[in-house]
A and B are shown apart, each in its own frame.
Chain A
Amino acid sequence: MKTIEDHYKTLAPKLTNWLVATGSSYAESCDLVQETFVKIWKMRDSLQDDDEAVSGLVFTIARNLRKNLARNEKHLVLQEEIGEDEAGEAPNTAQTTNDDREYLRKKLTEAFAKLPPILREAYTLFQVAEMSIHQISAQTGVSENLVKVRIFRAKEKLKELLSDVRKDFQ
C-alpha cells in the first residue's frame, strides 16, 4: 500500500499547477496543497488503497479549501488591496531565469479564465492535473463522452484565444 508521502510525490505537483492554472496564486496554491495533505494524513487509516480514489479525494479537498478561503477572503478585501506586494507570484527562480515561462503562464491563466467553467474544469483536470477521462468523469459526475466533448471544445476555444501567443512560442 502506498504511503501518504508516495501519494504526495505523485499528486502534489499536479495539484499545485492545477490550482495556479485555475486562478490561485503560487503561494496560495502551496498553502492549499499542504493543508490538503494534512487532512489526507489525518484520514490515513480510512484511505482506500486505490490511486484514483485518493486522487479524487485530494482534488475535492483542495477545491473545498479554496472555496472556504475565497469566502473568508471576502472579508479581507481591503487588506489585499493595500498589500499588493507580489507575494503570490511564482518562485524567483522561474521569474528571473525564465520570463517567457512567466509570461506564458499569465496568458494561459487568462485564457483559461475566459472559458466557460465546465469546459475549464474538464480541460485543466485533463491537461494540467493529468487526470484520465475516467477520473474526470468520476470527479465531475458527467459521462466520459461528455468529458471528451468538453475537453475538445475547450481546446478549440483555447486555440482561438491563444493564437497570438502560440505564434510567439513557435
Chain B
Amino acid sequence: MDINLNNIRTNSTIAQNAISADTLADKTKETNLASYDLTISMAEAAIEDIKAAGIPANALRRDDELGKLISEAFSLPAPPFPAVE
C-alpha cells in the first residue's frame, strides 16, 4: 500500500491548527468573561456610588429622632467582667 506522506503531514497540520483555534477560542472566552466580570463589578460599584451620593447628608446621623428612640431603648447594662485567671 502506498502511503502519501504529504497527506499525513497536511492532516496533522490541520489538526494542530484546529487545536490551536480551540485553545485560542477558550482563551478569548476566558479573557472576555474576566473583562465582563470586571465591567459588571465596576458598574455595580458605580451604581453604589450614585446611590450613596443620593443619600441626604443628615440621613446617616445617629442622633435623629429614630436614633434617639433606639439609644434610649437599648441602654442595657453590660454584665460584669468575667472572672478569668
Contact = CB atoms under 8 A, between A and B. Distances in A.
Given A127-B70, A151-B60, A146 B77 contact: no
Contacts of A166: 65-66, 69
A149 interface: yes
Given A5-B81, A152-B60, A159-B66, A105 B52 contact: no
Contacts of B55: 148-149, 152
Contacts, number: 96
Contacts of B69: 104, 108, 162, 165-166, 169
Q: Which 9 A-B pairs have the closest CB atoms?
A: A12-B78, A145-B52, A30-B79, A17-B74, A34-B82, A145-B48, A105-B73, A104-B73, A13-B78
Interface of A: 5, 8, 12-13, 15-18, 20-21, 26, 29-31, 33-35, 37-38, 41, 90-91, 94, 101, 104-105, 108, 126-128, 130, 133, 143-146, 148-149, 151-152, 155, 158-159, 162, 165-166, 169
Nearest to A93: B77
Interface residues of B, number: 26
A contacts with B: majority SS: helix
B contacts with A: majority SS: helix
B45 to A, nearest CB: 7
A127 B72 contact: no
Given A17-B74, A105-B73, A149-B51, A12 B59 contact: no
Given A94-B76, A108-B70, 13 more contacts: A8-B81, A21-B74, A33-B79, A38-B84, A91-B77, A101-B73, A104-B73, A105-B73, A130-B62, A148-B55, A149-B51, A158-B66, A169-B69
